Amino acid sequence: MATYTITVNGTARSVEAEPEMPLLWVLRDELGLVGTKYGCGIGACGACTVHLDGAAIRSCSLPIGQVDGAAVTTIEGLSENGDHPVQLAWLEHDVPQCGYCQAGQMMSAASLLSNSPSPDDAEISASMSGNICRCGTYTRIHAAVKTAANKMS
């Protein structure tokens, strides 16, 4: 066991964990932030997407030992009141069905828009392609990303 300090949603947090414990389990089990979901465990589905120093990453396959001192933003930290343009666009387009993948989808979309405020269709498709939605709401997700981009401009 070792002690790691990470800034989560703007607050410095210390956790004791084995260095190979995935960031996902630190967030969920040690810090009680359950908005980030477990999907596949190998970083292929995107349900566990969070921001690490501003970049979208898969938290299920990133060991805590590699993120000591980093800044992590989870879906809970995207906005205090659920009013981030991506969250509002998700509601406007009624994106979620089962909702399981949506936190990861929104975190990927928010990362895209922070790096490319006016993405074209190809950029949206490429950026969101690593997030799987078993309900198939891809058309609504794509539309919501475009709406969020417009809200942010």
Q: What is the pLDDT at residue 98?
A: 92
Phi, psi for residue 150 in degrees, rounded to 5: -65, -40
Domain ranges of the chain: 2-78, 85-152
Confidence label for 153 from pLDDT (cuts 50, 70 and 90): confident
Nearest to 44 by CA among 24, 23, 58, 25: 58
Nearest to 60 by CA among 48, 70, 76, 75: 48
Taking residues 56-61, report their average pLDDT. Answer: 97
Taking residues 93-122, report their average pLDDT. Answer: 96
Is pLDDT at 119 greater than 90 in this prediction? yes
Check: CATH 1.10.150.120 for 85-152?
Answer: yes
Structure tokens at 59: 């938290």
pLDDT digits 0-9 by tens, 13-26:
999 999 999 999 99
Q: What is the pLDDT at residue 17?
A: 97
Please check whether residue 64 is in contact with residue 15, taking contact to mean a CB–CB distance below 8 angstroms. yes
Q: Does pTM top 0.85 for this prediction?
A: yes
Q: What is the pLDDT at residue 14?
A: 97
The CATH architecture annotation of domain 2-78 reads Roll (3.10)
Query: How far apart are the C-alpha atoms of 86 and 125, rounded to whole Å?
Result: 16
pLDDT digits 0-9 by tens, 40-52:
999 999 999 999 9
Is pLDDT at 144 greater than 90 in this prediction? yes
Taking residues 51-59, report their average pLDDT. Answer: 97
Average pLDDT, the chain: 96
